[in-house]
Amino acid sequence: MKSQKSLRRAVVLLIFMVAVSPMSPFRAMAREVSTDPATLKRLVQEAHAEFKDVKEGKPADYIPELAKVPPDLFGVVIVTAEGEIYTAGDVDHPFTIQSVSKPFTAALVMQEQGDEAIEEKIGVEPTGQKFNSILATQIIEDISANPLVNSGAIAAVSMVRAKSAGERFNKILKFDERLAGTKLNVIEEVYKSEAATNQRNRAHAYILEAEDRIYSDPIEAVDVYTRQCSIGVTAKQLAVMGATLANNGVNPITQEKVLDPNHVPKVLALMMMAGFYDESGEWAYTAGLPAKTGVGGGIVAVVPGKMAIVGFSPRVNDAGNSVRSAKAIEYIAQRLGANVFGG
Ligand code: GLN
């Protein structure tokens, strides 16, 4: 009896030791994402080398000034939640943030008014349509779809509390600067170029006004939105913005608490569902990371609690998503086992 008992004890102890050991199959199931410096350094360099010669897509030209950006620029960056930075290629070249600004402005509104305000006044449903689809704005009644497509993003801008358009833009810029931990500037040529050609966004704003779904003067909101999209960032700065989300709202470089941690999962949920617009399903299926793209060629992906992975490459596909940036992020995410769904 006694020996049976001690045998059982020994077996239980053995199972426990296997379970907690670094070789444990249970650990593998929990999928610890590596932040080992040598691995991250190697993966960033490999991803850059692997896709540097890909020529698929072309720089967006519906904003005339964007067509002038040298298409071969290519940068890949990881910034970890501890503030470690790993880079390859053109990571210090400023480009316009474009739609990558959208989740950050949504975060600012959440910070000011609570995350329910986004759900109630804009909506959180993916459209499955292009980022500037007028049809989507029209058919999704009572909501402006979500803050990551143009209509919802213009609505989000209009929600930022301010007495004037100037004050509203400054609030957005300051918030982005705190996320990036550095001063940022508008790239004026791109702003002027888009401001002269953004009739479609004005149409969105007027449709929103007709449905009582915009919360400042509609044309003023489009102008502030256009300025917001023209803020210049480098891939490195954008990666710090993403790493602030990965680090639960605390900038890992400056240590400033920029966003309440309870809003972070809401921002990431929006990015997961709509960050790649009409390619969001495919991105979730292949990379499995919350991410946001912009027609300037930037993409930021967030590995929650761990790091941001950023790509910058001006050639975009029909959905407006940077081809090489997406490939590089997916390459790194797969090798790190960073898919948030596991597997
Ligand atoms: N400023 C651009 C627009 O409104 C942003 C679009 C994008 O990056 N997908 O069309």
Using the predicted structure, report yes or no on whether residue 21 has a pLDDT greater than 60: no
- Residue 88 belongs to a domain: yes
Question: Does residue 23 fall inside a structural domain?
Answer: no
Instruction: Tally the domains of the chain.
Output: 1
| Mean pLDDT computed over 70-81 | 98
Residue 284 resides in a domain: yes
Domain assignment of residue 294, given as a range: 32-336
Asked if residue 133 belongs to a domain, the reply is yes
How remote is the CA of residue 65 from the centroid of ligand 1, in Å? 13
Q: Would residue 26 count as lying in a domain?
A: no
Ligand 1 atom 2, closest CA: 98
229 Cα: distance to centroid of ligand 1 (angstroms): 7
Three-state SS annotation for the chain: CHHHHHHHHHHHHHHHHHHHCCCCHHHHHHCCCCCCHHHHHHHHHHHHHHHCCCCCCEECCCCHHHHHCCCCCCEEEEEECCCCEEEEECCCCCEECHHHHHHHHHHHHHHHHCHHHHHHHCCCCCCCCCCCCHHHHHHCCCCCCCCCCHHHHHHHHHHCCCCCHHHHHHHHHHHHHHHHCCCCEECHHHHHHHHCCCHHHHHHHHHHHHCCCCCCCHHHHHHHHHHHHCEEECHHHHHHHHHHHHCCCECCCCCCECCCHHHHHHHHHHHHHHCCHHHHHHHHHHCCCCEEECCCCEEEEEECCCEEEEEECCEECCCCCEHHHHHHHHHHHHHHCCCCCCC
The rounded percent of the chain whose pLDDT value lies above 90 is: 85
- Ligand 1: residue of 66, 69, 134, 150 to mutate (most ligand atoms within 8 A of CB) is 150
- Residue 244: CB within 6 Å of ligand 1? no
CATH no. for residue 329? Answer: 3.40.710.10
Which pLDDT tens digit goes with each residue over 239-292? 999 999 999 999 999 999 999 999 999 999 999 999 999 999 999 999 999 999
Q: How large is the average pLDDT for residues 136-160?
A: 90
Is 158 a pocket residue for ligand 1 (Cβ < 6 Å)? no
User: What is the per-residue pLDDT across 207-250, written as a single tens digit (0 to 9) for each?
Assistant: 999 999 999 999 999 999 999 999 999 999 999 999 999 999 99
Residue-wise pLDDT tens digits, 153-195? 999 999 999 999 999 999 999 999 999 999 999 999 999 999 9
| Structure-model confidence comparison of residues 5 and 123, the more confident one | 123
Residue 93 in this model has a pLDDT that exceeds 50: yes
Is the shortest distance between the CB of 298 and ligand 1 below 6 Å?
A: no
Domain membership of residue 2 (yes or no) is no
In short, whether 149's Cβ falls inside 6 Å of ligand 1 is no
In a domain, 3, yes or no: no
CB of residue 309 inside a 6 A radius of ligand 1: no
Q: What percent of the chain shows pLDDT beyond 70? A: 90
| Structure confidence at residue 3 as a pLDDT band (50, 70, 90) | low
Q: Kindly state whether residue 15 falls inside one of the protein's structural domains.
A: no
